[in-house]
């Protein structure tokens, strides 16, 4: 049986809108594709999948041959979906074509918001301000039995760091988890598409580094979370990529 290919699409930020030197202290710097490759190695998936990383925000092309990719993770972003950068429009157009394949996609933070927007949902600025820190979820009835949340419970914290939130989910989308100010913190969109407002793909050090530039007072709100990366494994196994 041939190995399947997993792509990670980075949409970190509009080039020039952040200080690259802030990130030099951590593995991979601001290149999320390196960090995700390390995570896949950590959870034992890298030796069983072919992996490609794409920095879409830097103009790297998205896969033209959809048959050559079996699953996708779409990362978060400093940019809001309302910024409408050219690279955001290109990702949105590509997602529409990817949706037609029925193949798996997991969106994270800004990826969660962009997926939801593409499917007809609505995103707005969180009136309570940014959701920052290592924070728990409340599971819905559907979430408690969902493969994505397998092995977690409502005491399990995750890394949050977002200014915007999903306030209206697309037709047919199921809410899996919430927070007091986030009515749609984890979603199943059907068709092997899932998305989360938080960051199971990263580390407390990367999150704190990110916020050290945005708002240094927030950086100390992150604590080490053992095992949150298992959710990436849940996505890979639950959608049949492994």
For the chain, the distance separating the N- and C-terminal CA atoms, rounded to the nearest angstrom, is 11
Q: Is residue 32 annotated as a catalytic residue, yes or no?
A: no
Q: Is residue 210 annotated as a catalytic residue, yes or no?
A: no
Residues 6+ apart with CB under 8 A from 41: 47
Residues 6+ apart with CB under 8 A from 87: 11, 14, 56, 57, 59
Q: Kindly name the residue from 32, 131, 146, 201 that is annotated as catalytic.
A: 201
Residue matched to tokens 């290919």: 5
Give strand pairing partners of 165.
124
Residue matched to tokens 């708002």: 215
Q: Kindly name the residue from 199, 204, 228, 229 that is annotated as catalytic.
A: 199
Q: What share of the chain is helix, strand, coil (3-state, %, to 5)?
A: 35, 25, 40
Q: Kindly name the residue from 32, 109, 131, 204 that is annotated as catalytic.
A: 109
Helix segments in the chain, DSSP class H = 32-42, 86-99, 110-118, 141-144, 204-214, 230-238
Q: Is residue 199 annotated as a catalytic residue, yes or no?
A: yes
- Six-digit token pair at 52? 């490609």
DSSP, collapsed to helix, strand or coil, labels residue 29 as: coil
The set of catalytic residues is: 109, 199, 201
């Amino acid at each position: 049986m041939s190995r399947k290919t997993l792509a990670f699409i980075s949409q970190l930020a509009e080039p020039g809108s952040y200080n690259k030197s802030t990130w030099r202290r951590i593995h991979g710097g601001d290149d999320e594709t390196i960090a995700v490759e390390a995570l896949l190695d950590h959870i034992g998936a890298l030796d069983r999948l072919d992996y490609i990383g794409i920095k879409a925000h830097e103009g790297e092309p998205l896969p033209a041959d959809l048959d050559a990719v079996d699953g996708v993770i779409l990362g978060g972003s400093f940019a809001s979906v309302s910024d409408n950068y050219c690279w955001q429009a290109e990702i949105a157009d590509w997602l529409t074509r990817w949706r037609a394949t029925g193949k798996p996609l997991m969106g994270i933070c800004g990826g969660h918001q962009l997926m939801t927007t593409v499917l007809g949902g609505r995103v707005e600025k969180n009136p309570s301000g940014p959701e920052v820190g290592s924070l728990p979820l409340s599971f819905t009835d559907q979430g408690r039995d969902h493969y994505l949340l397998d092995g977690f419970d409502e005491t399990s914290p995750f890394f949050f760091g977002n200014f915007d939130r999903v306030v209206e989910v697309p037709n047919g989308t199921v809410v899996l988890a919430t927070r007091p100010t986030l009515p749609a913190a984890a979603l199943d969109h059907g068709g092997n598409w899932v998305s989360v407002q938080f960051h199971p793909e990263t580390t407390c050090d990367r999150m704190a580094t990110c916020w050290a530039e945005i708002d240094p007072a927030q950086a100390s709100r992150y604590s080490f979370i053992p095992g949150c990366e298992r959710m990436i494994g849940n996505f890979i196994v639950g959608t049949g990529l492994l």
